[in-house]
Amino acid sequence: MFRKILLPLDLSDRHERAVDIAAGLAAPTGAEVVLLHVVQLIHGLAPDDEPQFYRRLEKKADEALARCVDRLEMKGTPARAVVLIGDRVPEVLRFAKESGVDLIILTSHAVDPTRPGAEWGTLSYLIGITAQCPVLLVK
């Protein structure tokens, strides 16, 4: 069913369940899982202005994503990592569209049922409502 699954990650350790779910969904068809980290641009600090700063952030992201790629490949799931620099939501959406992603899997937080609209500005919400492909939120 899915040929390319996008898994945007930050550098925290809270994505284990999403990585496992991506591997499980990829297994039946041999789909590729693309791990994506977007180094957020700091307003007023362009990559050309501080190339060493952004290179350090890219290197840290590369190392973290490599561990996730290894974990997926140990499960027999084809995987690769991509690190971009930019604004997170637009970069995730652009990458998904340009890469022909069939599914985006996002780690999400639990929503307070007494205040469901309080979390509308989160990355997972913004990607979930604007993506052109299906989005799976993992809580």
Does the pLDDT of residue 104 top 70, yes or no? yes
Range of the domain at 28: 4-138
Taking residues 8-25, what's their average pLDDT?
Answer: 94
Pairing between strand 4-8 and 79-86? unpaired
Q: Express each pLDDT in 44-93 by its tens digit.
A: 888 998 999 999 999 999 999 999 999 999 999 999 999 999 999 999 99
Rounded to 10 degrees, what is the CA torsion of 63, 29, 8, 34?
40
Does the pLDDT of residue 9 top 90, yes or no? yes
- Give the count of domains, the chain: 1
Q: Give the contacts of 41 (CB within 8 A, at least 6 positions apart).
A: 47, 85, 86, 87
Does the pLDDT of residue 111 top 80, yes or no? no
CATH classification at residue 42: 3.40.50.620
By C-alpha distance, which of 24, 13, 37, 26 is closest to 85? 37
d(CA 93, CA 132): 8
Copy the structure tokens of residue 90. 């637009």
d(CA 55, CA 125): 29
d(CA 63, CA 139): 25
